[in-house]
Structure 1
């Protein structure tokens, strides 16, 4: 009887125990998750900060959750609101990267700041930069923000390890010099259309004023459409519009990506970025499948980047449709779409930025414009430039290199440590972002001399390796080491062709409406356009 009473009491208590467990267990789970979050967002950054300072490094104090992102945004807005720089002033670092400029000024060329709870180490010493970009130990990778980068382009520039090796191997044949030579007629045809359009814009006095920034974007968009996809600019125009909008939205999102789960919030910007990505993917998927179908029906491979990519990919995969088995052999259709997005964005953006600043600076420094024109006319007269002549250009080369030094399209490169790594005299923890401030290094008097902010193309007269005090890592417009930009020869060849054909027909100067205000939207843009006065020769 007593035993029965105990059992009855025990049974009766089960619901109460269940209710107790029902309330306690979720509370313990939430407490555990909260502890993990607090560790990641507060205690770990504080420990890392103490460890960095113990090695003699200086930097900003850690601020909970956002780190220095708010200060970065505040200083950028202040810089953009300032009056434009005087024409001919190339000391642009404080305006373009005000946070970096302030941090280096206060804490030295190797210093740290905070990308949310992640230490962001700036390394501006070219000899140390070489060690990072060479990745000789295999322990430096690209910072990964997959929820964001996937919306712009998850192509070669974001891949790591075996996937990067495989994609680079497949893409390499499309960028061989012999293949690029075959694209010269397309370069020339696009440039001729630009020149003809400008001629039609001339007034009775043989001159006109144009904002060449959108004009040159249209030119490089036309070039990449024809050379990458065998199509026209009009067919690819929608992609360019969408990718340009996506780039601007990317810049706004990157300052908030440190907030856990931010990209999954249904904000208006996040929803729009996903909508753009779906539309771009749909357009490219249709374009790629049409090309694959044509290849299956026996159409010969065109000498454009997409055709060369698919041909190279087919050699690495047994069947271009067998995506489930091709992960180790080649690219899937999704991979090809992402590489095409990169073709469109990088192919258009890099060269249009380079050509825009080239026209602006040659308008500011007319003596170099005259020297370049003399060289071009001496080699080609009024004839269309051909490869052999382009390869003999010296003055034009010097000018393009100096503009890439003063106004590099990409102003910073970032890497991330896979494990604890020693760089120079300091040891950095796994997961730290290593920031290579390209624009700062290109303007550093310690590397380039007291005239570092001056436009002096003659510094490249004896080649890149003899232009600076540190030939290894002081000139980085296309990166350095194994991950150097695969499209650099494409971009330079296109820029030479365009500049030569413009110089053959026009002389140009800054329009009175031009304001010199460089700023960054992923790459280095003229904030208010590039108004140039053209005069036919």
Structure 2
């Protein structure tokens, strides 16, 4: 009897202790730590909103963003208040001379860094100072890969992947770029009526085109064969973004809600599809049948070489799971970044036909009616200036995030661990302080002498990031975009359709909310 009593007492004590630990951890997360962080920030003169239990400013952010998206803008490039109204509100209310205001994303303070020197310090910092913002398990269902990793894991993945994006490898992929452009142009020419005029939503066209490019350059397959992965990833992006806008509660993903179940289904199906492709390639390599002119082949070749060179090291190469995650990243980042760059370029050149004419004349001078070459693309100065200016006004990613994992001094400020640092790309790109009174006007001439001259050597233009973690696919994306635009300019002129509504908004990337409807005019070769 006494033994039973003692066991029952022990079980009760353990249960109470566990409940107490859970309760204390919850209180620490939603109250004590936020209050400590708030006191440390305010003690240094850093201004921001007051912390509100658990949700912080999330409800207000949702209201501001929802209100901003209710109606389109006039045709202009003054888009910041529509895209990130919570950024501008925080800067307006709490910015001041310190340029480090903060707001609350749930129980975490997000400090907006508006000083270029501090941004440079953050992006060039060693791994033990900052981490990319911790991604919730839900966000990890979309993609991981080198863009999401930290420390030695990031270094290993970057080292193995880098060779696949060298210039000589890009040259090898030019026939694949060209084949995708051929199909795009042929499809558009078939749509032209007897007057050689037709309307098109280029949002879907460029999504399809860039999906085709990344499918062929990653796996050597066409968009049709890779369509299922893209459809799933597109659906997953929407589901993940919906979750990212709300406070993540640990363990919530295990509740069998309809959205949780769907995210899990997509994750499993995409992983299975990619695993099958990778295993087929591994089998082909063993039989000596594999090609190495696509990203997967180049990645596996580099991975094999590192495995051989570091045979005595346990983690010298990537596992199959690692390769799967890198392929997911190729699919997501490679497709989305280039497609939105081309979409916004078509919209902007429709708004500024004089620059469209200048770009077309340059393409004609360099290539005539011949297909663009890799060397010729590097001579397209006006086209490059246009792309830089489009990236300035409409950056694919509107902000970068970092997380302090230990106390760190930035300039005159000391940030404790647990603070989120927000680097607002779009605010820097549209700032009159840095770019002058014409900051929100389309003026490619500002890049006529290169990025360094345009920025006066300040870190105020970083659409692909900066420092050690600059986007590995930057040259890939710009080469693909130049090739596509050059081919389009050779065959078509274009203008905005009356049905186009100017409504930039951010769902992981900056895109037009209601599509990108343009009217194309087929040109007759000279």
TM-score by length of 2: 0.96
Q: 1:160 aligns with which of 150, 156, 169?
A: 150
Q: Displaced runs of 4+ in structure 1, greater than 6 A?
A: none
Q: 1:259 aligns with which of 249, 256, 267?
A: 249
What is the match of residue 186 of structure 1? 176
What is the match of residue 87 of structure 2? 100
Secondary structure of residue in 1 paired with 2:262 = helix
Structure 2 vs 1, CA of residues 21 and 306 (structure 1 numbering), >3 Å: closer, same or farther?
closer
Offset at 1:31?
2.3
Q: 2:66 aligns with which of 63, 77, 90?
A: 77
Partners of 1:115 and 1:520 in 2: CA distance: 17
Question: Is structure 2 residue 382 aligned with structure 1 residue 392?
Answer: no
Structure 2 vs 1, CA of residues 504 and 21 (structure 1 numbering), >3 Å: closer, same or farther?
same
Structure 2 vs 1, CA of residues 13 and 297 (structure 1 numbering), >3 Å: closer, same or farther?
closer
1:126-178 Cα distance to aligned partner (Å, 9 max, x none) = 11101100114741111222512320111000111111111111101100001
1:370-407 Cα distance to aligned partner (Å, 9 max, x none) = 00001000111111011121111110000000000000
Which has the larger Rg?
Answer: 1
Structure 2 vs 1, CA of residues 327 and 149 (structure 1 numbering), >3 Å: closer, same or farther?
farther
What is the match of residue 226 of structure 1? 216
Partners of 2:522 and 2:507 in 1: CA distance: 33
Q: 2:56 aligns with which of 35, 53, 67?
A: 67
Partners of 1:385 and 1:523 in 2: CA distance: 29
Matches within 5 A, 1:108-187: 108=95, 109-136=99-126, 138-187=128-177
What is the match of residue 481 of structure 2? 495
What is the match of residue 486 of structure 1? 472
What is the match of residue 336 of structure 2? 349
Partners of 1:217 and 1:267 in 2: CA distance: 30
Offset at 1:14?
6.2
Structure 2 vs 1, CA of residues 14 and 235 (structure 1 numbering), >3 Å: closer, same or farther?
closer
Kept after mapping to 1: 8 A contact 2:492/2:521: yes
What is the match of residue 5 of structure 1? none
Secondary structure of residue in 2 paired with 1:58 = coil
Kept after mapping to 1: 8 A contact 2:37/2:419: no
Offset at 1:24?
4.4
Kept after mapping to 2: 8 A contact 1:506/1:535: yes
Kept after mapping to 1: 8 A contact 2:131/2:404: yes
What is the match of residue 7 of structure 1? none
What is the match of residue 37 of structure 2? 48
What is the match of residue 517 of structure 1? 503
1:175-201 Cα distance to aligned partner (Å, 9 max, x none) = 000110111111111111111111110
What is the match of residue 515 of structure 2? 529
Partners of 1:187 and 1:326 in 2: CA distance: 38
Q: 1:505 aligns with which of 491, 504, 512?
A: 491
Partners of 1:178 and 1:223 in 2: CA distance: 18
Partners of 1:114 and 1:424 in 2: CA distance: 22
Question: Is structure 2 residue 270 aligned with structure 1 residue 280?
Answer: yes
The RMSD of aligned alpha carbons is 1.8
Offset at 1:74?
1.8
TM-score by length of 1: 0.94
Kept after mapping to 2: 8 A contact 1:66/1:259: no
Structure 2 vs 1, CA of residues 449 and 33 (structure 1 numbering), >3 Å: closer, same or farther?
same
1:461-516 Cα distance to aligned partner (Å, 9 max, x none) = 010011124x2310111000000000000000000000000000000000000000
Kept after mapping to 2: 8 A contact 1:66/1:258: no
Question: Is structure 2 residue 15 aligned with structure 1 residue 26?
Answer: yes
Partners of 1:335 and 1:18 in 2: CA distance: 46
Partners of 1:53 and 1:258 in 2: CA distance: 26
Kept after mapping to 1: 8 A contact 2:55/2:247: no
Kept after mapping to 2: 8 A contact 1:65/1:259: no
What is the match of residue 322 of structure 2? 335
Secondary structure of residue in 2 paired with 1:156 = coil
Structure 2 vs 1, CA of residues 169 and 16 (structure 1 numbering), >3 Å: closer, same or farther?
closer
Offset at 1:454?
0.4
Matches within 5 A, 1:191-230: 191-230=181-220
Q: Which runs of 5+ in 1 are unaligned?
A: 1-11
Kept after mapping to 1: 8 A contact 2:180/2:213: yes
Kept after mapping to 1: 8 A contact 2:56/2:106: yes
Secondary structure of residue in 1 paired with 2:455 = coil
Partners of 2:228 and 2:8 in 1: CA distance: 59
Matches within 5 A, 1:348-387: 348-387=335-374
What is the match of residue 412 of structure 1? 399
Q: Which runs of 5+ in 2 are unaligned?
A: none
Kept after mapping to 1: 8 A contact 2:161/2:299: yes
Question: Is structure 2 residue 438 aligned with structure 1 residue 451?
Answer: yes
Structure 2 vs 1, CA of residues 298 and 413 (structure 1 numbering), >3 Å: closer, same or farther?
same
1:76-126 Cα distance to aligned partner (Å, 9 max, x none) = 111111x21112x11111100111111111111311112221221110211
Offset at 1:64?
1.2
